[in-house]
Every structure is written in C-alpha cells, then in structure tokens.
Amino acid sequence: MSFPEIITENKSIQLAMKNIRSTSQTLGLVPTMGALHAGHLSLVEESNKQCDITVVTIFVNPMQFDDETDLQKYPRDIGSDISVLKQLSVDFVFAPSPEQLYPAGYGLSVDVGPLGRILEGRFRPGHFSGVATILLKLFHLIPADIAFFGRKDYQQLKVVQQIVKDTNLPIEIVGCPTVREHDGLAMSSRNQFLSPAERQRAGCIFQSLEKAQELVDNGERSAKRIMISMRQHIYQAKGKVDYVALVNPETLQPTLDLTENTFAVIAARMGTIRLLDNRLLKVSNR
C-alpha cells in the first residue's frame, strides 16, 4: 500500500480508524481546507513528532463561509497537497466530498455561544458555527488522541478548545506557533491572491503587532492608545482595518489597561484580501 492512504468516504475512514484504535498507536489529526503551505506543514511535522499515526483532512467546508463567492474562490489543489504530504510521510489523507459530510436532509448546526459572536464572529456571522459543526463531525469520524491547530487563527483555537471541553471529547487540542514569511506576514492560503504591491505592504500587519509590544515595553498600558497606534500603522500602508483588539488570552474579552499579558488580535484587508494575525503582548510589572 502506498502512503498516504487517500480516503474519501465516511465508512472507509471509520473502518481505518477502528483498526488503528485497536492497537496501542497514538493518533494525531491535522484538519485543513487544503492549499497547504508551510504553516500547515509545521502542524503535520508536530503531529508526526508526537503521534505514531497522522491523519490530515482536506475539506473546504461550505458551512463556514458567509460569502458564496469567497467559497468558490478558495484555492484548491489536492494533487499538489497530497504530493507534499507524501514527502512528510503522512499515513492517511481524508478528503471527502461535501455530499459525504452534508448528505441530503442534513440539519445539525452547532452554536458555540458568545465566544463565536465576538471579533471574527461579528464580521463573519455563522463562521464559527460552521467551524464547530465540521470539527465535531471530524472528531467523531477520526477519534484522535491529539488535534493540531495553528495559533494564527487564535479565536478558532479557543473555540475548538471550548467545544471539546463542553462535549467531553477525549482529545487534546494543541496550538502550534504561527509560521511567517520573511517580513513577518503570517502564512495563509489567501496570501497568494495579494498583488505584488499589496504583498509588499502586507508586512505592516506584523509590524503593527511588534509596535504594540514596543509601546508596552516602553511603559504604555492604555489599550486604547496602543490600538490607535496599531491602526495608524496599517492605515499608513493603505490597509483597511476590520478590527484591532487587545483581549484577555483566555476569555477574549476586551482589556482596557494592560496589567498582565494580553493578546493583540487584528483583521485587516490589503485590497480585497482579508488577513488575520495576533501576538501575545508581554507585560512586565517590574
């Protein structure tokens, strides 16, 4: 049998996972929507490091898109994805059709509560419901010991941790460091759609986060003033800001004054391309 083994049907992946679970091998899961880049591959490498068996899922989930045009434009190149995964010695790739996961008559949708309606959820209503729904399905089809997610989508990571906790699933959620381009831009499947000029300016998002830490290091503790500085940095690079927020790392609730480590989160646009990033602002109270 050649690896990775490509599986496209629910029953087949369940049977394969049943066979794995009958052994003492540990199982790692890396859920993706394909168009794999170095960020995804770092998750695969971490799974290979921590687990005996690695499963990568490739599924562009229609439930998490609020814009049909955005769904249709999302990059897809499963042949290239599988070639890359083969080089990393992935054991299984689960690449189902929408009809497999959402058959005729399908009706379930998961509401993740207030956490899914702030920040990214405010700008993309229903997005985290779609994320939670597909991940719960995948967690049942593929009963992994550990699932790996990037910290670039930090709110998504917190949502996943919450649904696992709330549903008592015996799966550990591991958040892995953001992988960046040479100028700090967070790796994203959407980066390929940036024009050369937009790509050149897009580093401003990471720079605004670095500027925020610099302000904190220099004694600034006002969240309002830090956020104004971050916005101005992006505006100067001709970016458009959907939101900039300083939040509690666990609850994602807004912070007014920085008395402890705080998360800075950004959603900004370069042209029509929407980009996300974040970083932990470390506060020294010496």
Asked if 152 and 39 count as a contact pair (C-beta separation under 8 A), the reply is yes
Closest by Cα among 172, 144, 132 to 13: 144
HEC sequence for 153-187 = CHHHHHHHHHHHHHCCCCCEEEEECCCECCCCCEC
Q: Which is catalytic among the residues 37, 40, 127, 140?
A: 40
Mind giving me the DSSP string for the chain? --SSEEE-SHHHHHHHHHHHHTSS--EEEEEE-S---HHHHHHHHHHHHH-SEEEEEE---GGG-S-HHHHHHS---HHHHHHHHHHTT-SEEE---HHHHS-TT-------GGGGSSTHHHHSTTHHHHHHHHHHHHHHHS--SEEEEETTSHHHHHHHHHHHHHTT---EEEEEPPPB-TTSPBP-GGGGGS-HHHHHHTTHHHHHHHHHHHHHHTT--BHHHHHHHHHHHHHHTT-EEEEEEEE-TTT--B-SB-SS-EEEEEEEEETTEEEEEEEEEP----
**Is 40 tagged catalytic?**
yes
Residues annotated as catalytic are 40
